[in-house]
Amino acid sequence: MAGYEYVSSEQLAGFDKYKYSAVDTNPLSLYVMHPFWNTIVKAFPTWLAPNLITFSGFLLVVFNFLLLAYFDPDFYASAPGHKHVPGWVWIVVGILNFVAYTLDGVDGKQARRTNSSTPLGELFDHGLDSWSCVYFVVTVYSIFGRGPSGVSVFVLYLLLWVVLFSFILSHWEKYNTGVLFLPWGYDISQVTISFVYIVTAIVGVEAWYEPFLFNFLYRDLFTTMIIGCALCVTLPMSLLNFYKSCKNNSLKHNSIYEALVPFFSPCLLFILSTAWILQSPSDILEMHPRVFYFMVGTAFANITCQLIVCQMSNTRCPTLNWLLVPLFLVVVVVNLGVASYIESMLLYTVTAAFTLAHIHYGVRVVKQLSSHFQIYPFSLRKPNSD
């Protein structure tokens, strides 16, 4: 298993023909962030590998997740009557979130600046972005948490899925059209949330207890913004881009079935994880919300990474992700009725297995593509220059 090759010879041949194609129409990105990133990237030394910038930003997102997992393990820290997260933590999280967002914006510019752009760099960037979704959403949850002034863990679970489907939608577009249409919601959410973290440090979480407008609470604003952005911006723009390609006869897949294949595994993951929640004898989501979110987000990241490999190599997306098989078996066992401690053990076991499997997948794919393109993933030196 250690030397297993996930990328087929057909896909490697497809990567050789790959040409990056993306469209960014977001005014915030075009007129504010890109000029800012163009300035920031000049401060980086030319020997710094773009993938190292990408990975550094991802580690900052993970650090924020772990930091708030320590101070708010069960999402009750922001509820009235509970010990709140210290103000300095919100400042650190806000700054690091913006730095991570900035690094995600300059890695590609550093690649073009150093003439080191490769398909591996794009895959590495978007692959880590797919895993960052769960870290980002769960970290934001600590602002409101659960309780009378917060959001229930099940509502947050549904909101997480709104974000996950919004993310995979752009890669589904590229799988069918060959063009990556960058979503507007990403830049807006990153800037807004970074600002909200800092504001929380200044005014305290108690400020979010008060109504935003009439009886409309800030938690309701938070929920409405996520759902509204997905339904009113992300989804309509994706369908419009798909329709334009269909009208221009430029779709890469002729049948509806083949066009929708990338959605099969994410939808099945949603069905299985939701079934587990609804059939859980010990109310598993209430007991271990953070672990459950992480399990779902990690499985989703693996599904998305395989889709990205396929759309970049112009190969068919797998119909079923194998990680769904053990999850299906766990759901069957849980549905038969198990003790609370056994169900908790099953959740932790599945989560650990998914995490190790996804890391193994990522490491092996990076090694395969590094060897294929004869590059070092975290250095600008060429192997034959040693």
**Helix segments in the chain, DSSP class H:** 9-16, 27-28, 34-40, 50-71, 87-113, 119-144, 153-177, 184-203, 218-229, 235-247, 256-260, 264-279, 284-287, 289-313, 324-336, 340-373
- Residue identified by tokens 């933590």 is 89
In the three-class reduction of DSSP (H, G, I as helix; E, B as strand; rest coil), residue 83 is classed as coil
- Residue identified by tokens 């066009």 is 259
Among the options 84, 126, 288, 372, which is catalytic? 126
Does the active-site annotation cover 126?
Answer: yes
Q: Amino acid identity, residue 316?
A: R
CA distances (Å), origin 338, targets 282, 295, 327:
9, 20, 15
Nearest to 300 by CA among 100, 166, 117: 166
* Kind of pairing between the strands at 180-181 and 22-23: parallel
- Residue identified by tokens 């030196």 is 381
Catalytic residues: 126
